[in-house]
Amino acid sequence: MEPRINPFAPGAGVRPPAFSGREHVIEDVDIAYDRIRNGLHANSMILLGLRGVGKTVLLNRLHQDAKAKGFQTVKFEVPDGSGGHLVKQLVPNLNAVLRRLDRMQAAGALLDRAGASLRNFASAFSVSYEGISFGATPATVTADSGDLEYDLPELLELVALAAQERGTCLGLFIDEFQYLSRSELSALTRSFHEIAQAGLPAILIAAGLPQIAALTGEAKSYAERLFLYPKIGALDPDSSQEVLREPAQKHGADFSATALARILKETQGYPYFLQTWGKFAWDEAEGPEISEADVENAYVDIITHLDQSFFRTRFDRCSDAEQHYLRGMAELGEGAHGTGEIAAILGTKSAAVANIRKNLINAGMIYAPQYGETAFTVPLFEDFMKRVIPGLEPYRPKKRTR
């Protein structure tokens, strides 16, 4: 059918034509927003899910909802694990929030303190920003110790207080949360702990790979009780069908029952794959029905496209040894595998490949669902690994060059 009107939208953070299966999370967060607006407590949330499962799209939606409810928001993505991003992103964004608060109700003692605190914070962490200053620096200087774990809670509390004074709330939206450093996670956790204790109107909604749950827990033990961790997974069959059928039906087309069954089986309900299969099947079909034969004819193009666009980019960033480790995991099939089991299939001991595993976790390629277990963060990655490296060779440590 006509590619110019093909509604399917595979792509990072691209809004899907039919957004399905996330009603529960949207409703839970909506309740949290209303509770906070009413001066009640609500837990901050960290959306956890594998690559391409729809975390960014959901986070964007929750951000829109917060703005529609009058929250003052800050939203950004942590680009990678190289560190220092939190402060760099927060300073200009919080400054924008303070400006908006100032516009709602001109300055006042609380906003002055928040503004001064942000100035101190920015200078303590050497971040420059185009800012306006709010009033004179108050006698008590805050957020300038240079220790993020003390300064960030002070700063965020003051911003939340200024928001409260204006009858509004603060919302922080952070994507790729797993790339924050341990001290950044610690500082944020502590901030929201203190905000909760002070009963201030602020919420954190973050999204990232499933290893965050362990990371925040390690950073601060109370993080497990402070945050909720909604799991964002593959879509159930009804939602998966809706994702495909609704956009097609809007154009007077539809998928046949067998075409749907085939796509659901191949994609296992993972949103990025559903969008990709939908797109290619649409292009292949004469229409108005998209048949199983159309899906079959598009198969090679779909796999080639997914390999190049989704899997390959991640694979190419890994060293030879890392790729080899991933290939060993693939040999064991779908799901999580014991770290010892993976080492065994590579013909070595866990300790010999512990560093490789650690690097792969830091790079966001794999994660530990439980202690001592390892799983891919990318759905269906095991099939790709077997396509790209057909045979598994035993592990050979690199010889050191002197």
Ligand X SMILES: Nc1ncnc2c1ncn2[C@@H]1O[C@H](COP(=O)(O)OP(=O)(O)OP(=O)(O)O)[C@@H](O)[C@H]1O
The residues binding ligand X (CB under 6 A) are 9-14, 16, 19-22, 49, 51-57, 243, 271-272, 275
Helices vs. strands in the chain: H and E counts, helices first: 17, 10
Choose between 56 and 216: whose C-beta lies nearer to Mg ion.
Answer: 56
Choose between 177 and 255: whose C-beta lies nearer to Mg ion.
Answer: 177
Cβ atoms of 174 and 45 closer than 8 Å? no
**All residues at 6 or more sequence positions from 344 whose CB lies less than 8 Å from its CB, including other chains:** none
DSSP state of 45: E
- Output the smallest distance, CB 351 to ligand X, in A: 30
Choose between 56 and 276: whose C-beta lies nearer to Mg ion.
Answer: 56
- Output the smallest distance, CB 124 to ligand X, in A: 32
The dihedrals phi and psi of 97, each to the nearest 5 degrees, come to -60, -45
Choosing among Mg ion, ligand X, none, which partner's interface includes residue 117 (Cβ < 5 to 8 Å by kind)?
none
Q: Which residue lies nearest Mg ion, judged by its C-beta?
A: 56
What is the footprint of Mg ion within residues 55-94 (CB under 5 A)?
Answer: 56
DSSP state of 231: B
* Residue 103 in tokens: 């516009």
Number of residues that bind Mg ion (CB under 5 A): 1
Choose between 56 and 377: whose C-beta lies nearer to Mg ion.
Answer: 56
Choose between 62 and 114: whose C-beta lies nearer to ligand X.
Answer: 62
- Output the smallest distance, CB 79 to Mg ion, in A: 12
- Output the smallest distance, CB 237 to ligand X, in A: 13
Choosing among Mg ion, ligand X, none, which partner's interface includes residue 247 (Cβ < 5 to 8 Å by kind)?
none
Cα separation of 264 and 40, whole Å?
A: 42
Choose between 56 and 117: whose C-beta lies nearer to Mg ion.
Answer: 56
Residue 281 DSSP SS3:
helix
What is the footprint of Mg ion within residues 31-60 (CB under 5 A)?
Answer: 56
Q: How far is CA 7 from CA 51, 96, 245, 247, 293, in A?
A: 22, 35, 11, 6, 20
Choosing among ligand X, Mg ion, none, which partner's interface includes residue 21 (Cβ < 5 to 8 Å by kind)?
ligand X
- Output the smallest distance, CB 212 to Mg ion, in A: 13
Cβ atoms of 127 and 88 closer than 8 Å? yes
User: Around 393, how many Cα atoms within 13 Å sit in the side-chain half-sphere?
Assistant: 8
Q: In which element (H, E) is residue 238 found?
A: helix 237-250
In terms of DSSP bridges, do strands 202-208 and 337-338 run parallel, antiparallel, or are they unpaired?
unpaired
Choosing among Mg ion, ligand X, none, which partner's interface includes residue 54 (Cβ < 5 to 8 Å by kind)?
ligand X
- Output the smallest distance, CB 12 to Mg ion, in A: 6
Per CB under 5 A, residues contacting Mg ion are: 56
